[in-house]
């Protein structure tokens, strides 16, 4: 019998700390449902004290998810922990994950606390959290740069106070595999009652070693890995869930553990997260990249045709490739449309909502014969836009671009209900469209990123555009999809502006005291 490796997904919390990747409550709910379908053990649903919106998201996920444990992050303060406790209260299984920094540099420069004070605060935090749930996890932030003796001391104290999971984060991605494994091995050997808790790791990818470090830790006793879909997360991101899960499964000969993950849900989860956050997946990304199972060279193709295992160590279908089957077309009816949305885990709020979405689906099916799951997901993402995210709306557009002529965009927008029209020239039609929008909106924001991706294959595919805007230190990503990429670009630009317009202030758990 192998040990169980607990998969703790933090896409909705650490993943959301990626610049511009903030998600709405409904988007988070959809990702949480997909994680549950994939049989993730623990879903870190957010940082409840960050804002009212974050609190509501964690609570909504705690209400909706029945199979996975729902967790909220909390700094080691009574107020944060109370907020987390309230947010996870409806969960069938709820966890509070509390943390405090333990490296000399963080304690001295960030917390301005002595090591004794840090231990005392951590112990108090466990006591506060235990008032809400028995399932309490403790993290020593920046453990990767902390002193081993101090880690052993604080872990002993929080275990005695009632922590059930001890997490060892390499917060700044500084460790290398053999050294990180040695740290974990020593801690497990020397901390009293180490066998009463689950040892967990949480590795960042600053040196590209997050997965390698996590797997090295698993080989010496870690039984929980914290990870994210597509490796999303602060800076260079976290360990990617798909790589951890498939490494453990493919190399069952060397890992003494198994996960409970339904691996066929991996690619759908990756696509959903990419669509919602607007973070494209690089084609050569392991497991979920478009080329992960593509063989280019003739020798490889020949080998695979003769015997697949000559060049393939995993089967594409085992991770969910091929799941984007053709689902609907122009002649599909309302019932087929509804049934597919339900299968995709997309909630239909009312008959009116369904009718509206179905009308948009028919418009899309007129332009594009084959409608794939990804098209439906993008369509329903636009449908899910709430009124506060619709201060600016594209009513109509006209673009002119001809060889030797200056491109021109003419757009009509609804701005808080009033209709506004503008025209502008640009170096290309997208530039002209953004200038026309800005001539109406005067947002004062800076364009940081513009990217276009085809949602599916074929020249009739919808283009999905991500636009990242920054204003007064806040960064927001917007997405838009359309068969016309200039229209998709204008929609994405407006989506980012709407998020900046609606934006509520949220705290980053790891910044400040």
Q: Known binding site for Mn(2+): residues?
A: 14, 202, 204, 238
CA-closest candidate to residue 190, choices 162, 221, 161: 221
Beta bridge partners of 329: 370
Report in angstroms how near the CB of residue 188 gets to Zn ion at its nearest: 21
Site stretch for ligand KIV (CB under 6 A), options 50-58, 119-127, 164-172, 466-474:
164-172
First to last CA, the chain: 44
475 Cβ contact partners less than 8 Å away, ≥ 6 residues apart:
19, 20, 448, 468, 469
Q: How far is CA 428 from CA 307, 406, 483, in A?
A: 49, 8, 18
> What φ, ψ does residue 379 adopt, rounded to 5°?
-60, -45
Cβ distance to Zn ion smaller for residue 216 or 380: 216
Question: Which residues share a beta bridge with 168?
Answer: 201
Q: Which does 139 bind (CB under 5 to 8 A by kind): Zn ion, ligand KIV, none?
A: ligand KIV
Answer for which of 9, 14, 80, 142 binds Zn ion (CB under 5 A) is: 14
Distance of CA 94 to the CA centre of its chain: 20
Find the part of the chain contacting ligand KIV (CB under 6 A) among 120-128, 167-175, 243-251, 343-351: 167-175
What is the smallest separation between the CB atom of 64 and ligand KIV, expressed in angstroms? 24
* Least CB distance to ligand KIV at residue 14 (A): 5
Min CB(110)–Zn ion separation in Å? 15
| Residues contacting residue 479 through CB under 8 Å, at least 6 positions apart | 275, 276, 278, 378, 381, 464, 465, 466, 467, 491, 492, 495
Cα(493)–Cα(467) distance, integer angstroms: 6
For residue 464, state whether it binds ligand KIV (rule: CB under 6 A).
no
Is residue 139 near ligand KIV by the rule CB under 6 A? yes
Q: Taking CB under 5 A as the rule, does residue 141 contact Zn ion?
A: no
Residue 9 β-bridge partners: 43, 227
Which residues from 2-61 bind ligand KIV, rule CB under 6 A? Answer: 14
CB of 348 to Zn ion, least distance (A): 35
For residues 119 and 154, is the Cβ–Cβ distance under 8 A?
A: yes
Q: Which of ligand KIV, Zn ion, none lies near 146, with the C-beta cut-off 5 to 8 A by kind?
A: none
Region near ligand KIV per CB under 6 A, out of 35-43, 166-174, 299-307, 412-420: 166-174
Closest residue by beta carbon to Zn ion = 14
Residues contributing to the site for Zn ion (CB under 5 A)? 14
Residues contributing to the site for ligand KIV (CB under 6 A)? 14, 73, 99, 139, 141, 167, 169, 171, 202, 204, 510
């Amino acid at each position: 019998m192998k040990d169980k490796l607990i998969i703790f997904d933090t896409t909705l919390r650490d993943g959301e700390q990626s610049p511009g990747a903030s998600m709405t409550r409904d988007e988070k709910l959809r990702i949480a449902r997909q994680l549950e379908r994939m049989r993730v053990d623990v879903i870190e649903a957010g940082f409840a004290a960050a804002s009212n919106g974050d609190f509501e998201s964690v609570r909504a996920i705690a209400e909706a998810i029945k199979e996975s444990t729902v967790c909220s992050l909390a700094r080691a303060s009574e107020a944060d922990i109370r907020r987390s406790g309230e947010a996870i209260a409806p969960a069938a299984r709820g966890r509070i994950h509390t943390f405090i920094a333990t490296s000399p540099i963080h304690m001295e420069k960030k917390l301005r606390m002595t090591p004794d004070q840090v231990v005392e605060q951590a112990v108090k935090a466990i006591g506060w959290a235990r008032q809400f749930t028995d399932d309490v996890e403790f993290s020593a932030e920046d453990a990767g740069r902390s002193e081993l003796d101090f880690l052993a001391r604080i872990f002993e104290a929080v275990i005695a106070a009632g922590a059930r999971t001890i997490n060892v984060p390499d917060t700044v991605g500084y460790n290398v595999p053999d050294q990180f494994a040695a740290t974990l091995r020593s801690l497990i050997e020397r901390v009293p009652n180490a066998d009463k808790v689950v040892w967990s790791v949480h590795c960042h990818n600053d040196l590209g070693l997050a997965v390698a470090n996590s797997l090295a830790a698993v080989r010496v006793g870690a039984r929980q890995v914290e990870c994210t879909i597509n490796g999303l997360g602060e800076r260079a991101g976290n360990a990617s869930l798909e790589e951890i899960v498939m490494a453990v499964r493919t190399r069952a000969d060397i890992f003494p553990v198994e996960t409970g993950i339904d691996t066929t849900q991996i690619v759908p989860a990756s696509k959903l997260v990419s669509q919602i956050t607007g973070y494209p997946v690089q084609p050569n990304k392991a497991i979920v990249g478009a080329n992960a199972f593509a063989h280019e060279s003739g020798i490889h193709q020949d080998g695979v045709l003769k015997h697949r295992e000559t060049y393939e160590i995993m089967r594409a279908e085992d991770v969910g490739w091929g799941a984007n089957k053709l689902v609907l077309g122009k002649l599909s009816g309302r019932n087929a449309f509804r049934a597919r949305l339900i299968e995709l885990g997309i909630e239909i709020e009312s008959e009116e909502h369904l009718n509206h979405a179905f009308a948009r689906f028919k418009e899309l099916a007129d332009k594009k014969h084959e409608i794939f799951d990804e098209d439906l997901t993008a369509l329903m993402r636009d449908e899910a836009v709430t009124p506060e995210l619709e201060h600016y709306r594209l009513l109509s557009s006209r673009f002119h671009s001809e060889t030797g002529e200056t491109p021109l965009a003419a757009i009509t927008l609804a701005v808080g209900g009033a209709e506004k029209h503008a025209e502008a020239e640009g170096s290309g039609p997208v530039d002209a469209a953004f200038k026309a929008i800005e001539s109406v909106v005067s947002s004062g924001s800076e364009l940081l990123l513009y990217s276009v991706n085809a949602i599916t294959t074929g020249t009739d595919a919808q283009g999905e555009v991500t636009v990242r805007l920054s204003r007064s230190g806040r960064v927001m990503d917007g997405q838009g999809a359309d068969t016309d990429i200039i229209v998709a670009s204008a929609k994405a630009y407006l989506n980012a502006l709407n998020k900046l317009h609606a934006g509520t202030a949220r705290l980053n758990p790891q910044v400040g005291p």
